[in-house]
Chain A
């Protein structure tokens, strides 16, 4: 479904990712793990058109999408829950969700997806008229994911959904990610919390200073001593 081939991205003279290839197949949860500065978010931003590639190509459902503007990529069916949530703080939860469906015109479909999101995150239904900026970090994260789902994506990109959340909430978020996937959405998940990410993913890529160091089945990596040592603290 998504194919990233030999992608390089630089910030000025600094090479952030140095030739990455990865693949996401329909129906999968694929996770991209690695420490700070490994290039995880950069990869995600390259896919969603926020950064220009230096070389390489990105194809989505057989079409080249590198070089397209951010909004064109959303139109192709790739929606993102960005790092740091980036919800619209002065707008209500309801307005945030509406904006997630900005490019859609199918009223019934939007209403159905809204129902689906509020079912996944009942907390959002309680706060539907509240300004998003006044909610807690966990609720804001739910909103960010819910907002991305409102675009009815074929591929959902999640950038560090567990960042800054209490352990109870992290579990809850990852449970929901599994549920979203079971409902038929393909997910590319970027995470620092390797343990949590590997336990929900089908396949994983381990990134280290701009290169893919390891890749494979998530369950295998979870038991791989190299991974355990480097990322799981044991």
Chain B
């Protein structure tokens, strides 16, 4: 009886593909939120009492919001590599760095032996290569895609754990090259630890954004994040996305379906690298410079934590995870720390405990909500219905159903 009832229950509730509808809801929600936040910061905050304004500056400063969006862009790229194709990448910071230096090379006075201006709103008299932000975005994407394929081609033959180690190595090597790239046979590639600063600000509609035009930058970064979401969702529902998921599920079976493994994995790696590059360019304009020492291993790990915590494979989960962790990292923890210190008259350096807290958070998540804050539906199903699927797998169950019917 129980088997029959379970069977009929399953048949009476066929899960139609309602994903597109909820994706639309989320997309509309995201864009609405983006606009509401913009209006809030641009038109409402300036007219509020000073006390409220300072609270906003402490807890939700616009620059932290912009930085969080940069993290979102990168995390969405890593989600394609890790969440869709199931390739563990521990060196994503490399693409972020390459993208950042692309901005450094093509949007500053660094190469002052040349004087090239194109589409940039910066003064024509300043030497160096000054290209438009949008062109540099494209360049950063192309260069990162190239490096993604270059690194991926020899390493993607490796299976999960080995691939993770190799990407880890890559993530260490690239920043080291930039740190020590001051004098490569007389050529200054990266200006070493001094970094490249300032990077040109973004020019848009003939206007040159200053360092305090945070609202404009915010809209540009929202646009970039939306672009990445769009790309992710489109790819996910298409042929390539299906091939990625198949590889994530079972590589051998995927190749038996005629899916070219190398090409498919490389494309995931390249698309991920592109978004890393976009994030890098955005980051360089966000901090108005590029500094080799910032590209540490911890960035790769934080990005991975964003993807895992938010919900691997679900763009909205990853976005929520990225916004949350980026905020805790940049603003939440220091602000909360100051609050606690001043209330209890203690003197604890809270930001130095960031990784302790992340670690604890990740352990708790793995214990109680392995699938992330907003999980991908199929992952949630597999993690929570294992009991049911276990007893379904027994052949006798099938027979008894046959007889019962």
Known contacts A71-B260, A86-B256, A129-B16: does B242 contact A137 (CB below 8 Å)?
Answer: no
Interchain nearest-CB distance for B3 vs A (Å): 11
Interchain nearest-CB distance for B57 vs A (Å): 45
Give which listed residue, A70, A102, A130, A136, contacts B397 with CB less than 8 A.
A136
Mask for B107-144, Cβ within 8 A of A = 1, else 0? Answer: 00000000000000000000000000000000000000
Chain B residues closer than 8 Å to A90, beta-carbon distance: 249, 378-379, 381-382
Which of B249, B379, B382 counts the most chain A CB atoms within 10 A?
B249
Which chain B residues (369-405) contact chain A, with CB distance < 8 Å? Answer: 378-379, 381-382, 385, 388-389, 392-399, 401-402
A102–B389 touching, CB < 8 Å: no
A48–B256 touching, CB < 8 Å: yes
- Is B324's CB within 8 Å of the partner chain A? no
Chain B residues closer than 8 Å to A91, beta-carbon distance: 245-246, 249, 378
- Is B207's CB within 8 Å of the partner chain A? no
Interface residues of A, CB < 8 Å — how many? 43
A90 to B381, CA, bound (A): 8
Q: Report the nearest B residue to A92, measured CB to CB.
A: B15
Q: Report the nearest A residue to B243, measured CB to CB.
A: A102
Known contacts A82-B253, A131-B378: does B396 contact A166 (CB below 8 Å)?
Answer: yes
Chain A residues closer than 8 Å to B260, beta-carbon distance: 69, 71
A200 to B289, CA, bound (A): 73
A75 to B257, CA, bound (A): 9
Known contacts A71-B261, A99-B257, A135-B392: does B252 contact A82 (CB below 8 Å)?
Answer: yes
B246–A99 touching, CB < 8 Å: yes
- Is A19's CB within 8 Å of the partner chain B? no
Chain A residues closer than 8 Å to B395, beta-carbon distance: 136-138, 164-166, 169
Q: Report the nearest B residue to A132, measured CB to CB.
A: B249
- Is A67's CB within 8 Å of the partner chain B? no
A133–B11 touching, CB < 8 Å: no
Q: Report the nearest B residue to A165, measured CB to CB.
A: B395
Chain A residues closer than 8 Å to B20, beta-carbon distance: none
Known contacts A98-B242, A133-B389, A134-B388: does B259 contact A71 (CB below 8 Å)?
Answer: yes
Chain A residues closer than 8 Å to B255, beta-carbon distance: 50, 69-71
Which chain A residues (126-162) contact chain B, with CB distance < 8 Å? Answer: 126, 128-131, 133-139, 147-148, 151
Give which listed residue, B10, B379, B385, B393, contacts A136 with CB less than 8 A.
B393
A191 to B398, CA, bound (A): 22
A88–B253 touching, CB < 8 Å: yes
**B residues with CB within 8 A of A:** 10-11, 14-16, 239, 242-243, 245-246, 249-250, 252-261, 378-379, 381-382, 385, 388-389, 392-399, 401-402
15 more A-B residue pairs beyond the given contacts A82-B253, A133-B382, with a C-beta to C-beta distance below 8 A: A70-B258, A71-B261, A74-B256, A75-B258, A82-B256, A86-B250, A90-B379, A91-B245, A91-B246, A91-B249, A99-B257, A103-B257, A135-B393, A136-B393, A136-B394
**Sample of 7 A–B contacts (CB below 8 Å):** A70-B255, A99-B246, A129-B15, A134-B389, A136-B398, A151-B258, A165-B395
**A residues with CB within 8 A of B:** 48, 50, 69-71, 74-75, 79-80, 82, 86-92, 95, 98-100, 102-103, 126, 128-131, 133-139, 147-148, 151, 164-166, 168-169
